[in-house]
Amino acid sequence: MRAGERRNLDFLTFRSPDFPISRLSAAAGFRGRRESYTPARWTLLERLRAAGSLSVNELARRLQRDYKNVHGDVKRLAELGLIERRKDALVSVAWDVVRAEVRLAA
């Protein structure tokens, strides 16, 4: 590819959320919301999806994280529609795939 040429990609996939979220979100489309897409929250989503429905307490234990922090993450992810809260106090992820789009140009 020559300098100045644009390359069109249908999808750019990262095996770890650490790179795109921590580096790209600060500069691009997540302004004001980038704290919603932290590596810890991506890990939480992955683990919860794999485990099925769990209480927040059990989720925190499995993640080896503080309950208060996990509770805050679950609350925010539920507000974004990524986690479902059930009436029996369990939480779950109904999605198989979550895509985060980062617009690099207007």
pLDDT in tens, 50-100: 999 999 999 999 999 999 999 999 999 998 888 999 999 999 998 887 776
What domains are there in the chain, each with its CATH number? 35-92 (1.10.10.10)
**How large a percentage of the chain has pLDDT more than 90?**
42
For all residues of the chain together, what is the average pLDDT? 75
Containing H/E element for 105? none
SS3 labels along 60-103:
HHHHCCCHHHHHHHHHHHHHCCCCEECCCCEEECCCCCCCCCCC
pTM tops 0.85:
no
User: Can you say whether residue 96 is alpha, beta or left, with left for phi > 0 and alpha for psi between -120 and 50 degrees?
Assistant: alpha
- Residue 87: the pLDDT is 93
